[in-house]
Amino acid sequence: MASAKTQKIIIIGAGVIGAVIAYNLSRRSGNSITVLERATPGSGASGHSFAWVNAFGKDPREYHTLNRRSLDIWYRLAHQLNEDIGIHYGGEMRWENTKQRAAELQHRIQKLQSWGYPCKLITSDEMLLLEPELSSGPIEAASYSEADIHIETDKFISVCLDRAMEFGVSLHTEHNVTDIIIDKGRIVAVKTDDAEFLCDVVVFACGIQTTELAALAGVQIPQQRSPGIVIKTSPCATVLHNVAVIHAPSVDVNHQPLHLRQLADGTLRIGQGTQEGINRDDSQEHADTLLAQAKTYLPAIGTADAIPTPVGYRPMPLDGFPILGFTKAVPNLYIALMHSGVTLAPLVGEMATLEILDGARVDWFNPYRLERLQ
Ligand SMILES: Cc1cc2nc3c(=O)[nH]c(=O)nc-3n(C[C@H](O)[C@H](O)[C@H](O)COP(=O)(O)OP(=O)(O)OC[C@H]3O[C@@H](n4cnc5c(N)ncnc54)[C@H](O)[C@@H]3O)c2cc1C
């Protein structure tokens, strides 16, 4: 039997993607794996995420299926890790209060059902059975997507990295990668402010900084700027008893729809608009307004305070779809850059491992190779 080749693998970035890749790689013995993180784990987009794991609004069909595959793997990964990763089961519930948006929701549910997504239209009585604290106002249509979950990214990252380190991975925080050394077309070393790490393979899991770092290797990664805000609150009574995430319509024409989830410590996370909505308003006033809207639907939130959070930037390739795989220009450079990274993390962790360690080319990733953008 041929023995597997030992490789020195460097992962740059310890967000959900770097952490899950490190965990998956570490489960296969014989390689030397190092994670370099310029700040602290989860300090990039992962720490600002709404972290709704879903394939609800993902088009076209192929991209929906990619997300769906990962959503299904989340259940297996949670079982495998068997620790508190802040996973909240229970599905996603939403409703609409205008005829036009109700028609759009009905159409979406019909399409998702034809794709085999476990979702359905529900009545106002069924909504109240799921969430008794809800004061929904007028309802034109409502739906429930049973498989959706949400994650507490800080817990997940920390469990993945702890497991990876138990399997021998070295994690270096506060190690800012500043240079990439190329020899004969391959990356041979990665430099931080005060150290140099030799490598056979480098994985870029560095979110929005991927473009800047790839340029050092002569690789162009086109990205768009996508700022978003998810505010926090102080802990409050349990306002969501069953579902993991709700999407509520705008309270009036001056406001956007909102999405909300409740964590195990009782705090809420609230965002507005769509998952990709642009928002740079990190003021207390904006946070107060969002919370006030949420209270109209969930009065049991009571006296919780709104805590503004800094703007988070979504890693967002130019066409909105992931960039996954080794690059043709620099064959030992593996890119893992994507929006919806919380949803996609388990799939990316497993499939990237097959591509990196076994030389497989997973055809599910073929539409998402970098070369499509060049
Ligand atoms: C407001 C908002 C809402 C979102 N909502 C959802 C959602 O509901 N569902 C969903 O699935 N996704 C959502 N996302 C997207 C999701 O959060 C991201 O796709 C995911 O977190 C990306 O993870 P990552 O590990 O690739 O990147 P990041 O979390 O950004 O991690 C990259 C890491 O690399 C490090 N790094 C960067 N440069 C260097 C360097 N030079 N040297 C060393 N380290 C470096 C950074 O410090 C960072 O820790 C949302 C994102 C935002 C901002």
| DSSP SS3 for 122 | coil
**Which of 162-171, 244-253, 304-313 holds the top average pLDDT?**
162-171
In the structure, what pLDDT confidence band is assigned to residue 310 with cuts at 50, 70 and 90? very high
Q: State the pLDDT at residue 274.
A: 78
| Least confident span in 34-43, 80-89, 123-132, 278-287 | 278-287
Q: Is the CB of 68 under 6 A from ligand 1?
A: no
Q: Is the CB of 11 under 6 A from ligand 1?
A: no
User: Tens of pLDDT along 211-237?
Assistant: 999 999 999 999 998 999 999 999 999
CATH number, domain at 12?
A: 3.50.50.60
Question: Are 162 and 304 contained in the same domain?
Answer: no
CATH number, domain at 236?
A: 3.30.9.10
Look at residues 110, 50, 68, 58 and name the one whose alpha carbon lies nearest to residue 244: 50
Share of the chain above pLDDT 70, in %: 99
Helices (H), the chain: 16-26, 61-81, 99-114, 124-130, 153-166, 210-216, 284-297, 341-358
| Residue of 24, 46, 155 best suited for mutating to test ligand 1, as the one with most atoms within 8 Å of CB | 46
Residue 188 · residue 319 · CB < 8 Å: no
Residue 130, domain extent: 92-146+227-313
- Asked if residue 319 belongs to a domain, the reply is yes
- Asked if residue 258 belongs to a domain, the reply is yes
Question: Are 237 and 295 contained in the same domain?
Answer: yes
| Residue of 216, 246, 259, 314 best suited for mutating to test ligand 1, as the one with most atoms within 8 Å of CB | 314
User: Tens of pLDDT along 183-215?
Assistant: 999 999 999 999 999 999 999 999 999 999 999
Look at residues 372, 374, 373, 370 and name the one whose alpha carbon lies nearest to residue 331: 370
| Last residue within a domain, chosen from 265, 297, 313 | 313
What would the mean pLDDT of 338-349 be, rounded to a whole number?
98
- Asked if residue 65 belongs to a domain, the reply is no
Q: How far apart are CA 239 and CA 262, in angstroms?
A: 8
Question: Are 247 and 304 contained in the same domain?
Answer: yes
Question: Are 142 and 232 contained in the same domain?
Answer: yes
State the total domains in the chain: 2
User: Tens of pLDDT along 146-197?
Assistant: 999 999 999 999 999 999 999 999 999 999 999 999 999 999 999 999 999 9
Q: State the pLDDT at residue 4.
A: 58
Question: Are 337 and 217 contained in the same domain?
Answer: yes
Question: Are 141 and 231 contained in the same domain?
Answer: yes
Mean pLDDT for all residues in the chain = 96
What residue type is 244 in one-letter code? A
Which atom of ligand 1 has the smallest separation from the CA of 259?
Answer: 8
